[in-house]
Amino acid sequence: MRTLIRPIGFVDSPFGNDGKVARLAGGLSWFASVELLEIDDDERIKATIIPVQELETRLDDDLSEQWARLTGERAPLRLGQRVVRLDQPQVMGIINVTPDSFSDGGQFQDELAAATAGMKMTELGAAIVDVGGESTRPGAKLVWEGDEIARIEPVIRQLASGGAAVSADTRKADVMTAALEAGAGMINDVSALTYDDRSAALVAQAGVPVVLMHHKGAPETMQERPAYDDVVVEVYQWLEDRIAAAVEAGIQRSNILVDVGFGFGKTVAHNLELMNHLALFHSLGCPLVIGASRKRTIGALSNEAAADARHGGSIALAVKAVEQGVQLLRVHDVAETLQAVKVWRGLRDQALSGRG
């Protein structure tokens, strides 16, 4: 048995509420109450809502550690010479140098087009450009390391030399090595360092940030009837284990980010349940990344809209994530997402100005 803390009862600002509200992960969101989730094995068995001011009377050692992680600041990310602050939501632009990615496959197979698009994302305000050379969409086939390196290495090199902060989206150690040598400053691994047994040591030695993403099954089969007893609890505990494994491998905790893996071995209902509970995952003590952009769940909720017609749904999920303190939004539509984040930030800044 254990208890997890889920922040709820979000408020516009902390003014006039001393001792009654708490700040979420050092960001721009405050909450006035929490839901204490009692867990037995992999399932929630009871939920109790209490005000923040009453929580301190219930804090044992485990809850105290969770509380410290929920409310603690997140250190800035360092990608080479670039620093990405995490006290506000940031956007990570997606560049897939692949022929078969679910949304932009084939769009950026030419390295010049890919690099140009990545630099445009940076100019628009994307904090990071995430470059991948292997599709991990449902049903995708494995790509040989040599082909993956040939796809992404020149693009990363051009982006990095142009001053962009670059992340490499890969699960293979050899590709990680090539990407880092080309100038990438972060690794985004959809397997959470489980696919290649050399990758954890490599990331630890390089001293770069890494995104650990939850998944269930390989891309070829992950959407064949995925099942969970309780998707929120299982994903939380799985990520908790992967963080521990990464730290044991020598990766600094401050360099670890986590992603709940929207769409990776999950049904529409699973994805929506996770989106509704994102704030809970801050108690893992790591920055949160969400990659819901143009995903199939949006189509399922909007008359099977095609991937390139899911902009509105992508923005809705991005704002939902930002409201729950998510630090990095991994998106295809950088300009539109940045506009939504700026409007959200304007609303937040007005509330924090203390003026009526």
Q: Which residues are catalytic?
A: 295, 330
Sign of CA dihedral 312, 317, 322, 328: negative
CA distance 159 to 157: 6
Please name the residue ranges forming H helices in the chain. Answer: 52-55, 61-71, 111-124, 145-161, 173-182, 199-206, 231-248, 268-276, 296-300, 311-323, 334-352
Is 46 in a helix, a strand, or coil? strand
CA distance 6 to 268: 22
Q: Is 222 left (phi over 0), alpha (psi -120 to 50) or beta?
A: alpha
Sign of CA dihedral 258, 314, 337, 352: negative
Write out the two tokens for 77: 């990310």
- 321 close to 341: Cβ distance less than 8 angstroms: no
